[in-house]
Amino acid sequence: MERILVTSALPYANGHIHLGHLVEYIQTDIWVRYQKLRGRRCIYVCADDTHGTAIMIRAQQEAVREEELIARMKQAHQRDFAGFQIQFDNYGSTNDPENRALCIEIWSALRRAGLVSQKEISQLYDPVAKTFLADRFVKGTCPRCQAPNQYGDSCDRCGAHYSPTDLIDPISTISGARPEVRSAQHLFITIEKLHGFLDDWTQNSGALQPEIANYLKGHFLNEPLRDWDVSRPAPYFGFEIPDSPGNYWYVWFDAPIGYISSTKQWCDRHGQRLDDWWRSEQSEIHHFIGKDITYFHTLFWPAMLKVAGFNLPKKVHIHGFLTVNGEKMSKSKGTFILASTYLQYLDPAYLRYYYAAKLSSGVEDIDLNFEEFAGKVNADLVGNIVNLASRTARFVQGQQLSAVYPDDKGLFARAAADAQQIADAYQQCDFARAIRIILAAGDRANQFIEQAAPWNLRNDASGAERLRDVCTIGLNLFRQIAVYLAPVLPRLAEQTGELLGVPIRHWDESQQPLLGATVSEFKHMLRRVDRHKVEAMVAASAEPEEQQEGSPNNLPIDSDEALRAEPLAPQISFEEFAKVDLRVARVLEAEEVEGAKKLLKLTLGLGGDHRRTVFAGIRGHYQPQELIGRLVICAANLAPRKMKFGVSEGMIVAVGDDSGVYLLYPDQGAKPGQRVH
RNA sequence: GGGCCCGUAGCUCAGCGGUCAGAGCAGGGGACUCAUAAUCCCUUGGUCGUAGGUUCGAGUCCUACCGGGCCUACCA
């Protein structure tokens, strides 16, 4: 195939990217990077989905123009994606002029095919906000079970389905006004006329996973397809329909067209013809979507493409949802984690790897379990894979790898032969299988190094050649794995290129060992997951208001063990307390103290040039790296104390004993130098 | 109401009609010390949700039931 065009679903401009979205974008990005690594001509396009009532209302609430809102959100989305190394070839917007032009083109085709009809629809209307109300913007009392505060389409208490006009005492969630029933003319697409085509395409084209094909057959295609309502009366934020003034295309009509218009933008920038990508036998289209938007992409969208003469998707890859610690993401539990929040605390490589290790080609949900997340990354990635480089490169720093590949008992050849299986797994989106095969190669490599014991060869001149050979093998086995993992961990592939002086560019580099290359100084490629940071991320994501809603009965029952172990000190006066000057300080530097078992040497900043050197007995409980930048509380007027390793000019406040030490941190907003009162 | 998916060791999963059901992590024991408390070796652990059926033979196919998740078109 000459060209491969890949898309992810267009994120809605009404909210920020969170870890649930990222399942899809990371999955797609891995697949695209795999294709590119194989040397295939592949582009990855996406865009912001910007239209609809929700955007209009939000813009009203924030008192900005819609264009401003969506521009701001697009910028935020792109920054989040870049932070996770998701590499789009083009990122557009459904509000771009290219999209309008393509909407018109496809609309005309639907008109010409006689598929557009007009019908009058009765809908609830908010007279205050002056807008028609989608079901989700209406609340009221369930007509069946009398449950209050139910949405306009169904009751989550008794499960009844009804029309919003059946609700008792309905109110608009936008203005609080009582909605009235109004009717308006809507435009419909008679998708039933394409029923035969959809039967065939969904069941026989191979574009859909079997369970999806089944689902469609059992649910939609077993009866006449209902007409699809594709217009909304003004006011609506979207494109006005040229031949139906006052009506706008429903957001789900123009959203998928964004796939094409984003491609168009890329083509215009690269001197390519759009038709070579969207109307060509030599091009295949792959959509990656979540299961919630299945029918839009497997019924309406193929119907539109068919009528307008575009290529049909070669494959619609449908994935499940993300749960966190086994439950739906929850704002109150701090498991509704935004991409930007994650990036403040953790390396994106962790999540890319973790998702890859859990993703298969099915539509099952995947669970992000933080305990497993930390364990998997630390054990598999750092302990097994990266450790291969870490434990061999240092022996041959600044030297060259052997000129002839030494006898490695067939290890390199064996892993080279795995390439086909790994490639198949990537191609089928069964990344979990790819990772399993790759990890097995890592295990074999570690076993080899264990047996070859390079550390026993280094001090012996006669062992120098053998040492070089062993490290040549170890580093090549590592590099081979880095090639296989390059789609998942692009940064690791880059670092491997830097270490060995030859960049990784192609899958086939897994097939031949690298010889004679000069080994650079080894630098850590990936740090272990710091569980404190995971906790901090969850804490930062928790919405405090909802936490307070928790019943007092849910408070943990604390033992008085700590109090008994260390009884309260004698009472003091306020004046005595006030003598202690506690200050907020920022950790500017942190390092382990040579020769000391428990001490870390910290440089604290109190703002401006005011600095203190403090020795704290927290080594083993905190990594120096993780402390840098944090705010702590320091006893600032304590007399300096000479210690074996230098003078300590204060103390930092912490609780605990040898079994665990916990630093105290000021809440957000505190500034260095502020006094504790 | 209808539909789809899932239910295999404490956890995450592999196994998709045929050797005594496997891996990683966690747990237990040992070795090593090059490495980011990394690595290596050994080891504990499952009547494969339940009950029937098809078959010479079933986690593996069929049926029912139980449990969990999700979807159900003028919701983005």
Residue A280 is encoded by which pair of tokens? Answer: 């060509």
% of chain A residues with pLDDT over 90: 51
Nucleic strand B within 7 A of Cβ A394: yes
Please tell me which residue lies nearest to nucleotide B33, judged from CA to C1'.
A455
Phi-psi region of A229 (alpha: psi -120 to 50; beta: other; left: phi over 0): beta
| Contact predicate A430/A423, CB 8 Å | no
Rg (CA), chain A: 30
pTM for the predicted model, two decimal places: 0.80
Name the pLDDT band for A547 (thresholds 50, 70, 90).
Answer: very low
The pLDDT, as a whole number, for residue A609 is 79
Higher pLDDT, A610 or A47: A47
Nucleotide nearest to A232 (CA to C1'): B74
Total residue length of chain A: 677
Nucleic strand B within 7 A of Cβ A312: no
% of chain A residues with pLDDT over 70: 93
Give the mean pLDDT of A602-628. Answer: 80
Three-state SS sequence of A318-360? EECCEEECCECCCCCCCCCCEHHHHHHHCCHHHHHHHHHHHCC
Give the mean pLDDT of A106-118. Answer: 95
Nucleic strand B within 7 A of Cβ A495: no
Which segment of A14-28, A489-503, A630-644 scores lowest on mean pLDDT? A630-644
Nucleic strand B within 7 A of Cβ A369: yes
The pLDDT, as a whole number, for residue A324 is 83
Average pLDDT, chain A: 87
| Contact predicate A42/A102, CB 8 Å | no
Name the pLDDT band for A35 (thresholds 50, 70, 90).
Answer: very high
- As ranges, strand B nucleotides with an atom below 7 A of a protein CB are 1-6, 11-14, 23-26, 32-41, 69-76
| Contact predicate A162/A153, CB 8 Å | yes
Nucleic strand B within 7 A of Cβ A293: yes
Which segment of A462-476, A545-559, A659-673 scores lowest on mean pLDDT? A545-559
Nucleotide nearest to A121 (CA to C1'): B74
The pLDDT, as a whole number, for residue A169 is 82
Q: Tell me A611's DSSP state.
A: E
CA distances from A350 to A356, A477, A637 (A): 10, 22, 42
Q: Tell me A570's DSSP state.
A: P
Residue A213 is encoded by which pair of tokens? Answer: 């094909």
Name the pLDDT band for A235 (thresholds 50, 70, 90).
Answer: confident
Nucleic strand B within 7 A of Cβ A270: no
Residue A509 is encoded by which pair of tokens? Answer: 């580099």
Residue A73: closest CA among A87, A55, A60: A55
Nucleotide B8 C1' to residue A223 CA (A): 38
Distance CA A622, CA A661 (A): 8
Residue A110: closest CA among A217, A251, A257: A257
Question: Which range scores top for mean pLDDT: A162-176, A333-347, A478-492?
Answer: A478-492
Nucleic strand B within 7 A of Cβ A41: no
Chain-centroid distance, C-alpha A73: 16
The pLDDT, as a whole number, for residue A617 is 81
Number of helices and strands (H, E) in chain A? 24, 25
Residue A27: closest CA among A505, A361, A346, A308: A361
Give the mean pLDDT of A345-352. Answer: 94
User: Which of A's residues 603-622 have CB atoms within 7 A of nucleic strand B?
Assistant: 620
Nucleic strand B within 7 A of Cβ A409: no
Nucleotide nearest to A380 (CA to C1'): B24
pLDDT in tens, A585-611: 888 888 877 777 778 888 888 888 788
Identity of residue A284: E
| Cβ within 8 Å of residue A256, ≥6 positions away | A10, A296, A297, A300, A301, A304
Distance CA A122, CA A184 (A): 7
CA distances from A8 to A49, A314, A398 (A): 12, 14, 44
Nucleic strand B within 7 A of Cβ A299: yes
pLDDT of A189 strictly over 50: yes
The pLDDT, as a whole number, for residue A161 is 65
pLDDT of A546 strictly over 60: no
Nucleic strand B within 7 A of Cβ A199: no
| Contact predicate A91/A49, CB 8 Å | no
Distance CA A346, CA A527 (A): 10
What structural domains does chain A harbor? 3-103+251-324 (3.40.50.620), 113-195+202-233 (2.170.220.10), 347-510 (1.10.730.10), 574-663 (2.40.50.140)
Higher pLDDT, A412 or A360: A412
Which segment of A86-90, A243-247, A385-389, A542-546 scores lowest on mean pLDDT? A542-546
| Contact predicate A188/A119, CB 8 Å | yes
Q: Could you give the residue ranges of the DSSP H alpha helices within A148-280?
A: 195-204, 210-219, 251-270, 274-278
| Contact predicate A293/A9, CB 8 Å | yes
Please tell me which residue lies nearest to nucleotide B23, judged from CA to C1'.
A436
The pLDDT, as a whole number, for residue A553 is 35
